[in-house]
């Protein structure tokens, strides 16, 4: 077993001739991760590749053949030091993201990467302190051992030269919560994020997408084909979709929206129009309306039927046939009435409301003055558009 921390910096000799210092190790991007080259630093500071087939023996020094052909890094090869050590990886079995502190090699029969060390000993080994740390822990009655992950159980998230090497088994990567993977993807460049997102089916990809930063969401939508972008957007909550779409150019946005189902198109367009107003971005469409002639019994049934669609019903709004608001009542006021009582008999007429053009300060002032937890938003003709909750507008003020 060899560690990269022990290999790096070793003197390389061709017979008695000094060749240079071992600066890095090159491996083939494949499940076997076979070592193919050494990267040598000469006395003058220049560097060159030496084929691993020219290596005769590795001990305190690296002994190589005197004659070896000049070679270059190939497309399917990467560096151990530059691309693996100190990089973040996904531990598939542990379902978390860890950092590589050292790399382990085994010769069976070719030298290849066996695994990575993600524990504290992997760090101490670089400073020659591994044995000392082991002894200290042994003295206090604790034995510390290297924390290894087999190469077959890790998937490097991002490797050099803009490349990504991920295991093709996306079912293993799905063991990571979308929000955990998203927090790491926010640190990568857009090309690599796109490749990772493309590994998953659109359902998981949309969950992952919804947890990314808005700026990264926008960049992804611009790089995806319109059909792919529309597929992901269609699986988002409409308010989340608006957050991502509103920063796109109008032509880009309309191309994606045009591929959605008509009902979702209309809702997204409605929310986007709201978002351009002082309180539009905090208006929600979770409200219940009834007709003035509806009875208490029928309204209570409507409340029960809507519990999966509306998170918190505090007020019930009464609208006429033209969807104009004409009254309001609370749930308490509803349940104390007789089952056959019509809404118009106990509703509060001329309810307090605001419009999209109303400033946030004025909205808060009215809610405070009339002791309201939420307030309806209407058009100039008093058509119901939505409601603003007190907590939402207070959060927006922070």
DSSP codes of every residue in 340-396: T-BGGGTSEES---EETTS-HHHHHHHHHHTT-SEEEEE-TT-BEEEEEEHHHHHHH
Neighbours of 210 (CB within 10 A): 19
For the chain, the structural domain boundaries read 2-79, 82-156, 177-276, 283-397
Over the stretch 93-108, which tens digit does the pLDDT of each residue have? 444 566 788 999 998 7
The CATH fold assigned to 2-79 is SH3 type barrels. (2.30.30)
| Residue 246 Cα distances to 206, 221, 239, 253, 379, angstroms | 17, 11, 11, 7, 22
Share of the chain above pLDDT 90, in %: 34
pLDDT in tens, 279-305: 777 888 788 999 999 999 999 999 988
Q: What percent of the chain has pLDDT over 70?
A: 87
Phi and psi at residue 14, to the nearest 5° = -115, 90
Task: Give the pLDDT score at 276.
Answer: 62
Question: pLDDT tens across 60-119, in order?
Answer: 999 999 888 889 988 888 899 888 887 666 554 444 566 788 999 998 778 999 888 888
- Picking from 257, 242, 181, 248, the residue whose alpha carbon sits closest to that of residue 212 is 181
How far is the C-alpha of 171 from the C-alpha of 169, rounded, in Å? 5
What does the pLDDT read at residue 290?
94
Decide if pLDDT at 359 tops 60. yes
Identify which of 48-57, 72-81, 247-256 has the greatest average pLDDT: 48-57
pLDDT (tens digit per residue) in 148-164: 887 776 655 444 443 33
Q: What is the pTM of this model?
A: 0.45
Q: What is the CATH number that goes with domain 177-276?
A: 1.25.60.10
In whole angstroms, give the CA distance from residue 128 to residue 382. 76
- Token pair 């002032």: residue: 365
**pLDDT, tens digit, 9 for 90 and up, residues 302-339:** 998 887 778 778 899 999 988 889 999 999 999 999 99
CATH for 283-397 is 3.10.580.10
């Amino acid at each position: 077993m060899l560690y990269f921390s022990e290999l790096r910096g070793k003197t390389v000799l061709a017979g008695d001739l000094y060749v240079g210092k071992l600066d890095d190790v090159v491996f083939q991007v494949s499940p076997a991760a076979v070592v193919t080259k050494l990267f040598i630093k000469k006395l003058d500071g220049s560097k060159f590749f030496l084929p691993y087939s020219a290596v005769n023996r590795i001990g305190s020094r690296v002994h190589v053949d005197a004659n070896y052909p000049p070679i270059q890094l190939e497309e399917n090869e990467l560096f151990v030091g530059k691309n693996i050590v100190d990089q973040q990886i996904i531990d598939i079995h542990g379902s978390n993201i860890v950092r590589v502190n050292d790399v382990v090699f085994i010769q069976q029969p070719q030298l290849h990467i066996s695994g990575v060390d993600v524990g504290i000993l992997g760090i101490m080994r670089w400073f020659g302190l591994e044995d000392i740390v082991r002894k200290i822990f042994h003295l206090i009655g604790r034995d510390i051992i290297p924390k290894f992950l087999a190469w077959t159980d890790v998937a490097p998230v991002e490797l050099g030269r803009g490349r990504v090497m991920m295991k093709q088994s996306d079912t293993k990567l799905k063991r990571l919560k979308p929000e955990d993977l998203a927090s790491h993807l926010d640190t990568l460049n857009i090309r690599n994020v796109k490749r990772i997102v493309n590994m998953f089916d659109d359902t998981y990809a949309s969950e992952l997408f919804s947890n990314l930063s808005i700026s990264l969401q926008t960049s992804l939508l611009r790089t995806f084909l319109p059909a792919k972008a529309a597929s992901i957007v269609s699986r988002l909550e409409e308010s989340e979709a608006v957050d991502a779409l509103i920063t796109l150019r109008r032509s880009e946005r309309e191309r994606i929206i045009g591929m959605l189902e008509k009902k979702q198109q209309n809702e997204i367009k409605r929310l986007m129009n709201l978002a351009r107003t002082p309180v539009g971005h905090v208006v929600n469409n979770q409200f219940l309306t009834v007709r003035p002639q509806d009875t208490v019994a029928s309204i209570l049934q409507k409340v029960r039927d809507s519990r999966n669609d509306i998170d918190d019903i505090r007020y019930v709004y009464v609208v006429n046939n033209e969807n104009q608001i004409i009254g309001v009542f609370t749930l308490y006021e509803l349940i104390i009435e007789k089952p056959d009582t019509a809404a118009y008999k106990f509703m509060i007429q001329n309810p307090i409301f605001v419009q999209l053009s109303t400033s946030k300060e004025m909205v808060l002032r009215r809610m405070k003055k009339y002791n309201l937890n939420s307030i309806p938003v209407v058009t100039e003709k008093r058509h119901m558009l939505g409601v603003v909750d007190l907590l939402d507008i207070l959060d927006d003020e922070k």
